[in-house]
């Protein structure tokens, strides 16, 4: 058994396998990933907390399955996101993180709630005459995509372009693809970086009240042009995909557990427990900068390591009876789905706000929501993300 997302069992439910690893091989060498995998909560957290030994350099663009030709095509354009905030170590990280954090103040995040609520209400108004929909395709994405686009400063007319490019980005770097498809996806990704580049140029000329203008104003002071382009392209990714994936996973879980609609006062903890048990993010990659000895295994310097937050979230030493969904589990929010340490997700508060708001609005407007009986439900094949391509529901 291995971390192989071409295998159905691994995508559907890797938890027996992960439990065996936690007990018997807490430092597992995955031949398939070409990486060591840490599965115990304490080890995963300690590795996140030690960025000097577990470096983030290149951690987001690890796809081992990229062909030489694809690498060349991306490389010619310097498109490995080598200066994206999640992909660098201190001191660059400290500087980049400081700049990004300026846009994610608690006040700025709280101010987005009203807009997000409206976006959800508007969408449900449009679905008012319907009794059935694809929750993932038709409900989960639109409000997050629109909120993120407005935050970044992407004009409404470009939203669908951006959304498609972001999907291609995800597929290229995080799921195994055949060689021809890789080249197609690489070209799509390059078009996307080009688009962001032009957006930055436009805001440099004529600033507005958006994230792109704020970051552009820091070029030459705190940030380089390249850093701003990579930051914006990847924040769009964070906003466009992770939150809707987490929402889809959460709604499916709540429906299956018979806990729909969730009473408003129980929503904040329900959101955490959904993230714990069906996290949209499965882990992060790191490279060791020195030899590490852990549980009798010697991990050489320069090795690729997967910190499995998915396994950590199911670690029975921290979360008793981990495969059971407990809506008021006292320590549900101790999951590591947003990472930990210096790279802890800068959008975590915004992500939580969206998930809580969406569950509240959806529960009130669609109290009779249920999955369409017999409709197939399968997670997409990805090493680091869990999400449903489709979830048919009725009400
Ligand atoms: C449920 C939704 C989300 C999940 C599960 C998630 C997950 C994560 C994780 C695991 C990391 C750490 C990566 C690492 O250490 O290698 C991270 C970092 C990051 N996330 Fe999120 N994220 C979510 C939403 C968002 C949103 C909404 C945004 C922005 C609008 C965002 C922007 C970022 C950025 C910029 C970083 C890099 C931070 C750094 O390196 O200092 N994320 N996220």
Q: How far is CA 296 from CA 26, 27, 47, 144, 299, in A?
A: 10, 9, 16, 45, 10
Q: What pLDDT was estimated at residue 47?
A: 98
pLDDT at 164 (0 to 100) = 87
- Say how many domains are in the chain: 1
Buried b / exposed e along 2-35 (16+ C-beta atoms within 10 A): ebbbeeeebbeebeebbbebbeeebbbebebbeb
Instruction: Output the pLDDT for position 75.
Output: 78
Q: Give me the domain span that covers residue 202.
A: 8-368+387-394
* Residue at 381 is within a domain: no
Residue 15 belongs to some domain of the structure: yes
Distance CA 203, CA 128 (A): 38
Write phi, then psi, for 287 (nearest 5 degrees).
-115, 135
Asked if 18 and 308 count as a contact pair (C-beta separation under 8 A), the reply is: yes
Q: Please tell me the residue having the least CA distance from ligand 1 atom 36.
A: 345
Ligand 1 touching residue 387 (CB < 6 A): no
How buried is residue 337: exposed, middle or buried, by Cβ count under 10 Å (0-12/13-18/19+)?
buried
Is 378 among the domain residues? Answer: no
User: Using a 6 Å cutoff on CB, does residue 56 contact ligand 1?
Assistant: yes
CATH code, 272: 1.10.630.10
The tokens 């930051």 sit on which residue? 231
pLDDT score recorded for residue 62: 55
Confidence (pLDDT) at 146: 93
Q: Is 55 in the pocket of ligand 1 (CB under 6 A)?
A: no
pLDDT of residue 291: 98
Name the DSSP letter for residue 265.
G
Cβ proximity of 251 and 275 under 8 Å: no
**379 belongs to a structural domain:** no
Cβ atoms of 28 and 320 closer than 8 Å: no
Residue 163: predicted pLDDT:
85
Stretches in the chain below the pLDDT threshold 50: none
* Domain presence at residue 2: no
CA of 239 to the centre of ligand 1 (A): 9
CA of 240 to the centre of ligand 1 (A): 12
pLDDT in tens, 183-204: 999 999 899 989 999 999 999 9
Distance CA 317, CA 313 (A): 10
Q: What pLDDT is recorded for position 11?
A: 85
Name the residue with the closest Cα to ligand 1, atom 29: 347
Running DSSP on this structure, what letter comes out for residue 333?
G
Cα(337) to centroid of ligand 1, in Å? 9
Q: Report how far ligand 1's centroid is from the alpha carbon of 282 (Å).
A: 12
**In-domain check, residue 382:** no
Write the residue with the smallest CA distance to atom 18 of ligand 1: 345
Query: How many degrees, rounded to 5, is the angle at CA 57 between CA 297 and CA 243?
Result: 100
Is 35 part of a structural domain of the chain? yes
Task: Report if residue 93 sits inside a domain.
Answer: yes
Residue 84: the pLDDT is: 82
Q: How far is CA 262 from CA 94, 105, 124, in A?
A: 39, 28, 18
Within 10 angstroms of residue 49's Cβ, the number of other Cβ atoms is: 11
Radius of gyration, CA atoms only, the chain: 21
CB of 343 closer than 6 angstroms to any ligand 1 atom? yes
- State the Cα–Cα distance between residues 94 and 90, nearest whole angstrom: 5
């Amino acid at each position: 058994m291995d971390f192989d997302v071409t295998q159905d069992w691994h995508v559907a439910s890797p938890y027996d396998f992960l439990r065996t690893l936690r007990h018997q091989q807490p430092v597992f060498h995955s031949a398939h990933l070409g990486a060591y995998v840490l599965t115990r909560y304490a080890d995963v957290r300690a590795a996140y907390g030690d960025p000097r030994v577990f470096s983030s350099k290149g951690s987001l663009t690890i796809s081992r399955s990229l062909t030489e030709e694809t690498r060349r095509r991306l490389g010619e354009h310097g498109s490995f996101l080598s200066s994206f905030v999640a992909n660098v170590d201190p001191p660059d990280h400290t500087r980049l993180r400081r700049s990004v954090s300026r846009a994610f103040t608690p006040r700025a995040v709280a101010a987005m709630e009203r807009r997000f609520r409206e976006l959800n209400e508007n969408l449900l108004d449009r679905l008012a005459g319907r009794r059935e929909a694809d929750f993932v395709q038709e409900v989960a994405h639109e409000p997050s995509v629109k909120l993120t686009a407005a935050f970044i400063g992407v004009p409404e007319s470009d939203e669908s372009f951006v959304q498609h490019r972001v999907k291609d980005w995800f597929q290229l770097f995080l799921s195994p693809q055949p060689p021809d498809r890789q080249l197609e996806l690489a070209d799509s990704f390059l078009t996307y970086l080009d688009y962001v580049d032009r957006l930055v140029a436009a805001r440099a000329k004529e600033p507005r009240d958006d994230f792109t203008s704020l970051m552009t104003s820091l070029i030459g002071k705190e940030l380089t042009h390249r850093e701003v382009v990579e930051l914006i392209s990847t924040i769009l990714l964070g906003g466009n995909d992770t939150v809707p994936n987490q929402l889809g996973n959460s709604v499916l879980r709540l429906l299956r557990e018979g806990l729909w609609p969730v009473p408003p006062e129980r929503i904040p903890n329900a959101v955490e427990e959904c993230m714990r048990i069906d996290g949209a993010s499965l882990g992060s990659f790191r490279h060791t900068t020195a030899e590490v000895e852990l549980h009798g295994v010697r991990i050489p310097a320069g090795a690729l390591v997967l910190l499995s937050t998915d396994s950590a979230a199911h670690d029975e030493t921290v979360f008793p009876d981990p495969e059971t969904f407990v809506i008021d589990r006292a320590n549900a929010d101790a999951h590591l789905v947003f990472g930990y340490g210096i790279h802890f997700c800068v959008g975590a508060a915004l992500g939580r706000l969206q998930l809580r708001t969406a569950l509240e609005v959806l529960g009130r407007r669609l109290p009779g929501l249920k999955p369409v009986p017999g409709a197939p439900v399968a997670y997409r094949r990805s090493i680091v993300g869990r999400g449903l391509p489709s979830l048919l529901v009725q009400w």
